[in-house]
Amino acid sequence: MDLLLRVTSGPHSGEEQRIDRSDPFIVGRSSRAAFPMVRDLLLSRDHFRIEKKEQVYHLIDLGSTNGTKVNGLRVERVMLREGDVITAGQSALEVLVFGSNPGGTVAASCVGCGARISPPLLPAESGSGESTGVIPPGDIDALDANLCSACRAMRRRFPETDPDFLIDELIGEGGMGEVYRATQLSTGRRVAIKMMLANATADDKAFNYFRREIHVLKNLLTPGGKGHPGIVEFYDLFEVDGHYQLIMEFVDGRNALEWARLFQPLPVATVALIGRQLLSALAYSHGKGFVHRDVKPSNLLVMGPVHRPRVKLSDFGLAKSFAEGNLFSTMTRQGDVGGSTGFLSPDHIREFRDVKEPADVYSAGATLYYLLTNEYPYYGFNPRQANSYELILESPPIPLRAFRPDAPEELENILQKALQKQPRARWKSAQAMSDALQELVLIGQS
């Protein structure tokens, strides 16, 4: 199956390009791109690429300045189908399947992977008996009739979910649940599905953490259903065989630990930009009445190139509402400490159930320190050793420039303030710390 990209608006309107090869096909302002659109000055030089794998095409944004949208939604990576509209820079491009059947009709495509299928699609019927061309999302027979044999077989390999979602890969697992990447068949949107394990060893605790995350993510949305761009978005919730499934935004990136290893040592301006985005997400969450309580590099999902990273804060399973006094209060028993030891604030250790916004500010500071140095802020600190809590409570943090002599003194001071033992000695808010990092971002961009 070959694709045809046809420019429908913008400086290159009317131009088209056929994609008939498996190697990456780059679209951008560069004259060396496979589809050079040199007159669209809002395109990045290499704006996005299209890759073909097993007869399926995916669009991947290349960290473009203004982003890439498919059917109006900004994307990092998405499968392309007949009729999709790509918007980039000043231009819109229509996606067409090149060629047709002998009768002149366009070949039917699998709603799961986009490959050609036979027999053709079975449209739903309206009450009058006329074809509407729309498949009801919950109609599994109609949806499966529009899947190729490979996608039908794939559905059987993974746990049962709502029939409108086709799971294609397990992308994360832990003691309490699993996360799968999936495609919503009725929209083509890629999503992440978080499922609580049916045989989790701590069923009650697992269920409560899962219930907490659902509550928090729903309450972080605006009345119009939108969330903060730096927080993984909540879409829907299902119950299958008595177990909840949380449908969330799929973020096609890496956690900050994995991402940082690709670019060590990370530039100061890059970490300052990551910090600004993280702190903006925390300020939004705090404004809605929630403390995250588990800020750490592995809960940050990072996309894009090293000079222009984009960040999403994830995993609100330990989040707590400080605005609704006793909400979930029974979940944290006396002496419980949640979160990852290397990024815990002294407040977590003293009284985890009562931590407030300054605890997130501390953890954000510890996270940025680690991304810059690949070290914890305390001499001899090992999160697995028995004295780890003692070091957090009593030891002064090692100055940043002991590990990163290239870092400006201003950044060292910002992190030192975030890592103060007493909450009142830290930045007054996540927004205040974010504002302090702004000049470092501007220096890196100059």
Closest CA to 397 of 371, 426, 417: 417
Which residue ranges are tagged as binding site for ATP?
A: 194
Q: What is the DSSP letter of 54?
A: T
Q: How far is CA 223 from CA 217, 220, 233, in A?
A: 13, 10, 14
* Helix/strand/coil for 214: helix
Name 152's Cβ contacts closer than 8 Å, sequence gap at least 6.
Answer: 144
Closest CA to 272 of 62, 442, 64: 442
- Residue 381 tokens, joined: 């600190």
294 is catalytic: yes
Q: Which residues make beta-bridge pairs with 97?
A: 3
Q: Would you say how long the chain is, in residues?
A: 446
* Three-point CA angle 170, 144, 118, nearest 5°: 115
Name 392's Cβ contacts closer than 8 Å, sequence gap at least 6.
Answer: 344, 345, 346, 349, 378
Closest CA to 164 of 179, 184, 181, 150: 184
Q: Where are the beta strands (DSSP E) in 262-385?
A: 290-291, 300-303, 310-313, 320-321
Q: Which residues make beta-bridge pairs with 249?
A: 191
Point out the catalytic residue in the list 40, 61, 84, 294: 294
* Three-point CA angle 253, 259, 260, nearest 5°: 155
User: Looking at beta carbons, which pairs linking 55-60 to residues 24 or more positions away fall under 8 Å?
Assistant: 55/1, 55/113, 55/114, 55/115, 55/116, 56/113, 56/114, 56/115, 57/1, 57/3, 57/19, 57/114, 59/86, 60/252
Which residue ranges are tagged as binding site?
A: 194
Quote the CA–CA distance of 372 and 11 in Å, as a whole number: 42
Quote the CA–CA distance of 195 and 239 in Å, as a whole number: 10
Q: How far is CA 365 from CA 296, 317, 362, 402, 433, in A?
A: 10, 21, 5, 16, 9
List the catalytic residues: 294
